[in-house]
Amino acid sequence: MNRFKFWLEQTMMISFAIFSGILIEGLVYKFVEGSSLSSFTLSWYQILSVILTGAICSLPTIFLLSDNEGFKTKFIVRVIIHCIGLYAAVSLIGWAFQWYTKIDGFIMVTIIFFMVYVFVWVVSLWFHKRDEDQINKALEDIRDKE
């Protein structure tokens, strides 16, 4: 797959998952704390920060999945390093854009991060499995014609 297309796909998927996490956070505050949803707002720079976060967090994934000779470490080690690196990036971006100001906000960002991380991995694996099945079917159709 073209690296730019892959980066764009990952950026959109991560950004969508973060926005979904923010929606869940708003609902949690609504039903757990009884606060009004009207008090839950997003400013233009927070929306921009989510898209920026998606773009930044999708870059390391290109290198994680790369078959480059410099990345011959075990895949699970690369995934752990990937997760820790992205968690650090999201924590810093969250602090810079004031996604949280107190420890409870940081805990919520952490929960949302891991939900997004798992969601993106599951959806990515599903997409790649679907593509693999389509390619295998096309190859079988070619073999059947011969």
CB contact burial 6-27 (16+ within 10 A = b; e otherwise): ebebbbebbbbbbbebbeebbe
Mean pLDDT in residue range 1-29: 83
Per-residue pLDDT reduced to its tens digit, 98-134: 888 889 889 988 998 998 889 888 988 888 889 888 8
Per-residue pLDDT reduced to its tens digit, 54-71: 999 888 877 776 665 555
Per-residue pLDDT reduced to its tens digit, 67-95: 655 556 677 888 888 899 899 999 998 88
Domain boundaries, the chain: 3-145
**pTM more than 0.85:** no
Asked whether 100 and 94 are in contact (CB, 8 A), the reply is yes
